[in-house]
A and B are shown apart, each in its own frame.
Chain A
Amino acid sequence: MSRRTHLLPGPYGQSWTTPLLLTSLKGGAVPHLTKETLAYMEIEPAFLAPAAPIVQQTEVLEKYQKGLTSFLGLPHQFSLMTPLDPSVPDRPGFHTQKSVALWHNGNKTSVTPEMYMRGVIAAQPSAFVALCDSETPVGASNKRKGKAVSKSLDFLDRCLLMKASEPRLSDSLIFGAIEGGYDAQCRAFSAKETVQRPVDGFLIDGFHTNGVTSGDLIWSDAQPLLQSILKALPDSKPRLYQGSCSPKMTLDLIEIGIDMFESSYVFHETEAGHGLIFPNTLKPVTSPDNGCHASLDKKVDFLDLKDPQFKDDFSPIHQSCTCYSCRKHTRAYINHLLATKEMLGPVLLMIHNLHHYQIFFRTIRECCETDSISALRALI
């Protein structure tokens, strides 16, 4: 199997080892959390910032001058700006020849590469994905898929040109998107062309239409295409995948060569009232109690904490978890908060789920070093 670890340079001399999880922002915050509540947990200071809220307030960031992460109260942190919000379902049919439609809070902005780069310059992210067209849902026409590829390459060239002439972006990494939907020829062309350009990394894009359904990727359809794309890319540059990734899908994608992920899976599980309990370390589970009436041979990734069975369950979400929520609060309390639709419910779930998924990635990195990813896979 392929095993990749490499250092990703960050701002201020930081570096990250992949496989890396970027925490996805929504609007301009980690969903349900604030700088104050984030301080109650240990999290990789690396964020994915969807572009729509940035381009809709380029003027604000230009006036502010100190860049996006400072504006958000998260200064000196790694930020990767990307065209679409992977947690929000795409709204097809709004792109034009010269622009891509980006949506935020129900407002559409038709964004050209020039507008996009103005937003990038104002946001000063550590890295950004060049503007691209990923509107290639299953069943898209050949013409549409070809268009997505050629438009994305054209946009990439224009982003590269503007980046080259902008001293404020000299330290920012630029990622090129590989498009083409479920079409081997389009994909091969997109990969071949993108590789020839001076990009620092790649976004493996256009396999789904974002939102919660991005987790329903049909692996047998996507896998051969993903594999051939990744083979065409140089080993030395990181590959980013956006979309909801279950633990198993994460391992599958790492195995074929994806390096960077984002946390929309955690967001969707939190919104559903789920607490993650899948094995996220190689340590043997000391207590067999996963708090579920499911039989022991059935692996469950999460507990549905809305379920009345947890009403009087005063244990933490996950027995061996050291996160803030598990140290301080019980399943019964979270069940009560969800039943009463109190805002603290998703806060506690987000803290736990993000922690749990971060630990999973830490374990993955350890496994990559010791070549023991198969041991982790056996648990998932």
Chain B
Amino acid sequence: MSSSSPSGLMARSALQFTVLAECSTTKARASTMVLPHATVETPVFMPVGTQGTLKGLLPDQLLALDCRLILGNTYHLGNRPGVSTLKQAGGLHRFMNWPRALLTDSGGFQMVSLLDLAQITEDGVKFRSPYDDSECMLTPEHSMEIQASIGADIMMQLDDVVDATHADPERFEEARHRTVRWLDRCLKAHQRPDRQNLFPIVQGGLDVDKRKDCARRLIERDTPGFAVGGLSGGEAKDDFWRMVHVSTNELPKNKPRYLMGVGFAVDLVVCSALGIDMYDCVFPTRTARFGSALIMKHPGALNLKARAFRLDFDPIDQECPCFTCQNHSRAYIHSIIHEPSACHLITVHNVAFQLRLMKTIRQNILADTFPQFIQSFMLANYPDKKYPMWAINALQAVGVQLS
């Protein structure tokens, strides 16, 4: 696909992004994103396959769901199986036998969130290996080397991650500037721009001006897409949506925008209205392991461990086309809830749920019925109309009233 790119300029990018339709009310858009391993329809949700596997599902099960883009975590994959094995295998696609597209994070987020002892310096993130206790350093160059061995269609820059609820404004200032400097080091170390895309990450904490400034400086680097980072970390939802809103206002319309770590159904609907194209989150697969099956209406999920489902012979969702809903009842899943097989059945359904929700969002954008869809979706999820204030505010900002 990239080999067919006509000009020298295009050859620098392994991604073609085409906006097919824009919502006439909100900032939502429906697009196609052509990647080396798949053509992805956006808005898209990417299920998370941290360690080179999507939580018990065979790659063929993901293909059956028409999943086209999944996420892997660089920090974990760099540790196990490691760069040497990935290189010998010919990259993660071949190692895990996944023929479609992959996105990898930079490893920085895990480093800071998982490791107490991580220390950030100008050079990179210094940490003690949890495996052999040796001192390691993840630099922008090293992150790019691991991501090159993984061979994902989209790679993320190493960014200086600060918890959005962090109190120290000086630390945010430092992180914002350092993120731009690290982007330049990542771009320099990026070996295969014709096969892999590098996305920078908009930081800037919860400060409107700093978000804008960070976005503007990243845009100057002319990368194939952008991520909005540093959110979904426990900040107030009203801060969260404003930062998304500010970021998408700054980012160019002709490139994909990826909101990291977001995956609740309501968030996906609202943030799509704010102009986000890509999402990832562990939530749907993690909650499946706790027996929770997602549904399109209030209360949003069924806890299949509950005895209430003992005699419930309906599928999780009558309208869901997934294998689980076509073949099994809530009562059956409840009866095997302690077996790994139950987790597999719910994981299939929850991934199908996310993909189906995104497809519905996209179809409504294409038909220019997205505002009406938002209203009916919100009503189904909040039948008492007690909508969360942040969602009311966010949707109002893009011209949709919840009444």
Which A residues are in CB contact (< 8 Å) with B344?
32-34, 37, 343, 347
When A344-B53, A344-B58 are in contact, do A332 and B85 touch as well, CB less than 8 Å?
A: yes
A336 touches B81 (CB 8 A): yes
B97 touches A329 (CB 8 A): yes
Does B96 make an interface contact (CB < 8 A)?
Answer: yes
Q: Mark B336-360, 1 if CB is under 8 A from A, else 0.
A: 1011111111001000000000000
Q: Which residue of B lies closest to A36 (CB)?
A: B323
B57 touches A30 (CB 8 A): no
Does A361 make an interface contact (CB < 8 A)?
Answer: no
Q: Which residue of A lies closest to B57 (CB)?
A: A344
Partner of A343 from the list B60, B95, B340 (CB cut-off 8 Å) is B340
When A312-B85, A329-B97 are in contact, do A32 and B61 touch as well, CB less than 8 Å?
A: no
Does B80 make an interface contact (CB < 8 A)?
Answer: yes
Does B242 make an interface contact (CB < 8 A)?
Answer: no
A336 touches B328 (CB 8 A): no
Does A40 make an interface contact (CB < 8 A)?
Answer: yes
Partner of B332 from the list A30, A71, A312 (CB cut-off 8 Å) is A71
B51 touches A342 (CB 8 A): yes
Give the residues from 1 to 50 in chain A that come closer than 8 angstroms, CB to CB, to chain B.
26-37, 40
Q: How far is the CB of A313 from chain B (nearest CB, A)?
A: 10
Counting chain A residues whose Cβ lies within 8 A of the other chain, the interface size class is 35 or more
Which A residues are in CB contact (< 8 Å) with B339?
26-29, 31
CA distance A29 to B84 in the complex (A): 38
Binds B, one of A57-65, A141-149, A208-216: A57-65
Counting chain B residues whose Cβ lies within 8 A of the other chain, the interface size class is 35 or more
Q: How far is the CB of A163 from chain B (nearest CB, A)?
A: 25
CA distance A63 to B310 in the complex (A): 10
B310 touches A60 (CB 8 A): yes
B53 touches A35 (CB 8 A): no
Which B residues are in CB contact (< 8 Å) with A234?
none
B345 touches A72 (CB 8 A): no
Does A314 make an interface contact (CB < 8 A)?
Answer: yes
Give the residues from 41 to 59 in chain B that come closer than 8 angstroms, CB to CB, to chain A.
51-59
B53 touches A337 (CB 8 A): yes
Q: How far is the CB of A123 from chain B (nearest CB, A)?
A: 12
Partner of A311 from the list B85, B311, B342, B343 (CB cut-off 8 Å) is B85
CA distance A26 to B341 in the complex (A): 10
When A35-B328, A60-B310 are in contact, do A30 and B341 touch as well, CB less than 8 Å?
A: yes
When A72-B332, A311-B81 are in contact, do A31 and B53 touch as well, CB less than 8 Å?
A: no
When A34-B344, A60-B335, A73-B328 are in contact, do A336 and B85 touch as well, CB less than 8 Å?
A: yes
CA distance A180 to B280 in the complex (A): 60
A32 touches B331 (CB 8 A): no
Q: Which residue of A lies closest to B81 (CB)?
A: A336
Does B327 make an interface contact (CB < 8 A)?
Answer: yes
CA distance A65 to B89 in the complex (A): 51
Does B3 make an interface contact (CB < 8 A)?
Answer: no
Does B134 make an interface contact (CB < 8 A)?
Answer: no
Q: How far is the CB of A104 from chain B (nearest CB, A)?
A: 9
CA distance A340 to B339 in the complex (A): 19
CA distance A2 to B331 in the complex (A): 46
Q: Mark A81-106, 1 if CB is under 8 A from B, else 0.
A: 00000000000000000000000010
B55 touches A28 (CB 8 A): no
Does B313 make an interface contact (CB < 8 A)?
Answer: yes
A34 touches B81 (CB 8 A): no
Q: How far is the CB of A336 from chain B (nearest CB, A)?
A: 5
Instruction: List the 5 closest A-B pairs by CB distance, nearest first.
Output: A343-B56, A29-B341, A344-B53, A36-B323, A336-B81
